[in-house]
Amino acid sequence: MDYTKEELWEAKRQLDSLLHKLRGVVKTLEAKEDPKRYKAQITLAQRRIQALELSNGLINKALQIAEE
């Protein structure tokens, strides 16, 4: 599929927002009194962060190619 630069930039902006929020969730859960109790939620959030970072990297590559 081909996406416009505007679509790629908007997707990147949305991913950056989600990443910021998820990192906050991880910090909050890890700061709880008994973080082991939230291990599953922490792991899920960390995996989502990894997936979103990967997606963000691919969008960055697509934007570089589009600007060449």
Give me the chain's average pLDDT, please.
Answer: 96
The string of pLDDT tens digits covering residues 5-44 is 999 999 999 999 999 999 999 999 999 999 999 999 999 9
For range 45-60, the mean pLDDT: 98
Q: What is the pLDDT of residue 30?
A: 97
The predicted pLDDT at position 45 comes to 98
DSSP states along the chain: ----HHHHHHHHHHHHHHHHHHHHHHHHHHTSS-GGGGHHHHHHHHHHHHHHHHHHHHHHHHHHHHH-
Q: What is the pLDDT of residue 67?
A: 86
Full-model pTM: 0.90
pLDDT at 68 over 90: no
pLDDT of residue 66: 87
